[in-house]
Copies of this chain bind each other. A is one copy, B any other.
Amino acid sequence: MCPMTDDLTARLRVPAGPVDLTAIETDAAPGFDGKKADGKKALAAMGAELSDLQERLWAERTAGSERRVLLVLQGMDTSGKGGVLRHTIGLVDPQGVRITSFKAPTEEERAHDFLWRIEKGLPSAGYIGVFDRSHYEDVLIARVRGFADPAEIDRRYGAINDFEARLAAEGFSIIKCMLHISADEQKARLAERLDNPEKHWKYNPGDLDERALWPAYREAYEIALERTSTDVAPWHVIPSDKKWFRNLAVGHLLLQTLRGLDLRWPEADFDVEVERQRLAEEPPVQ
Contacts and interface: CB of A to CB of B under 8 A. Distances in A.
A20 to B, nearest CB: 13
A116 to B, nearest CB: 19
A17 interface: no
B201 A59 contact: yes
Interface residues of A, number: 49
Interface stretch (A29-37, A160-168, A211-219): A211-219
A260 interface: no
Contact of A82 (B22, B86, B95, B187): B95
A203 B214 CA distance: 54
Interface in A69-112: 82, 85-86, 89-90, 92-95, 97, 99, 101
A62 B94 contact: no
A205 B270 contact: yes
Contacts of A99: 94-95
Interface of A: 22, 59, 62-63, 82, 85-86, 89-90, 92-95, 97, 99, 101, 132, 183, 187, 190-191, 194, 197-198, 200-205, 208, 211-212, 214-215, 265-268, 270, 272, 275-276, 278-279, 282-283, 285-286
27 contacts: A22-B286, A59-B202, A63-B201, A85-B95, A86-B93, A86-B95, A90-B90, A92-B94, A94-B97, A94-B99, A183-B286, A187-B285, A190-B279, A194-B272, A194-B276, A200-B266, A200-B267, A200-B272, A201-B268, A205-B275, A205-B278, A208-B275, A208-B282, A211-B285, A212-B283, A214-B285, A214-B286
